[in-house]
């Protein structure tokens, strides 16, 4: 696959995961509405999503975690990402949250679309081959309503394998809505660890093989990133 133009790839992608106390849940829900126009106007934010989170065990409503929320942004420059730290959005979340995990990443490979867009460029073949060190993975799919039940039945064995695999630093489900918009974020010690799960674990391989025949997704995306920085904690622990 040809290397995409540098202009097609964001300089930096950040994922902020904010943990809140139960009393702060109404405020977090309000931020999901209030921050949408703010992110749309944020200088250098080429693509931004406000996301709910869950444990990713079934990808149904019962996975949802109202005590954890996420903000994903693809930035035109590192300076734009740094300037965002003083924005109204970040200031508001700092007041609400009792915990924050921030992951800074640069795209290595990306296939598919998210909301009709290719937010992370294509594949940087040279960078993907030469990268050593921690990697992150983001998957996202929009389910076909008539195929959703079949997909949900296939998820639990994959999730069970994921949380037992060596080399996984953390994983969580993410999505724009509780149903129909399924995603994952996972942080790995190395590309080899991620590939070992994706291509050697039987439950995941089975789902990959079934995907074209089952037609679960109306839209899907898979992206892999070089991890530039990890700061803060998730559930009180630094991944």
pLDDT of residue 150: 73
3-state SS of the chain is CCCCCHHHCCCEEEEEEEEECHHHHHHHHHHHHHHHHHHHHCCCEEEEEEEEEECCCCCCHHHEEEEEEEEEEEECCHHHHHHHCCCHHHHHHHHHEEEEEEEEEEEEEEEECECCECCCCCCCHHHHHHCCCCEEEEEEEEECHHHHHHHHHHHHHHHHHHCCCCCEEEEEEEECCCCCEEEEEEEECCHHHHHHHHHHCHHHHHHHHHHHHHCCEEEEEEEEEEEEEEEECECCECC
Domain ranges in the chain are 6-230
Residue 50 pLDDT exceeds 80: yes
pLDDT of residue 4: 47
**Mean pLDDT in residue range 49-65:** 73
pLDDT of residue 194: 86
Q: Highest mean pLDDT range out of 71-85, 111-125, 130-144, 160-174?
A: 71-85
Task: Say which CATH architecture domain 6-230 belongs to.
Answer: 2-Layer Sandwich (3.30)
Residue 214 pLDDT exceeds 70: no
79 or 195: which carries more pLDDT confidence?
79
127 or 26: which carries more pLDDT confidence?
26
Q: Which of 43-52, 63-72, 206-215 has the lowest mean pLDDT?
A: 206-215
pTM over 0.85: yes
pLDDT category at 94 given cuts 50, 70, 90 is: very high
pLDDT of residue 201: 53
Q: Which of 108-112, 190-194, 206-210 has the lowest mean pLDDT?
A: 206-210
Residue 24 pLDDT exceeds 60: yes
200 or 190: which carries more pLDDT confidence?
190
* pLDDT tens column, 135-147: 999 999 888 887 7
């Amino acid at each position: 696959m040809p290397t995409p133009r540098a202009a097609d790839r964001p300089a930096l992608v950040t994922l902020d995961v904010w943990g809140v106390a139960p009393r702060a849940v109404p405020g977090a829900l309000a931020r999901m509405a209030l921050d949408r126009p703010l992110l749309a106007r944020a200088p250098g934010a080429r693509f931004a999503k406000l996301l709910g989170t869950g444990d990713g065990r079934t990808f149904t409503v019962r996975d949802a975690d109202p005590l954890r929320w996420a903000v994903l942004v693809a930035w035109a420059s590192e300076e734009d990402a740094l300037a965002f730290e003083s924005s109204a959005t970040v200031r508001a979340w700092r007041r609400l949250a009792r915990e924050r995990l921030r992951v800074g990443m640069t795209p290595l490979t990306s296939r598919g679309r998210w909301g009709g867009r290719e937010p992370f460029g294509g594949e940087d073949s040279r960078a993907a081959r030469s990268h050593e060190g921690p990697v992150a993975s983001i998957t996202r799919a929009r389910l076909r309503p008539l195929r959703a039940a079949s997909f949900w039945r296939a998820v639990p064995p994959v999730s069970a394998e994921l949380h037992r695999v060596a080399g996984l630093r953390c994983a969580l489900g993410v999505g724009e809505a509780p149903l129909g918009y399924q995603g994952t974020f996972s942080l790995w010690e190395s590309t080899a660890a991620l590939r070992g799960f994706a291509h050697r674990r039987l439950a995941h391989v089975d789902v990959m093989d079934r995907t074209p025949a089952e037609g679960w997704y109306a839209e899907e995306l898979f992206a892999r990133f070089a991890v530039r920085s990890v700061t803060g904690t998730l559930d009180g622990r630094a991944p």
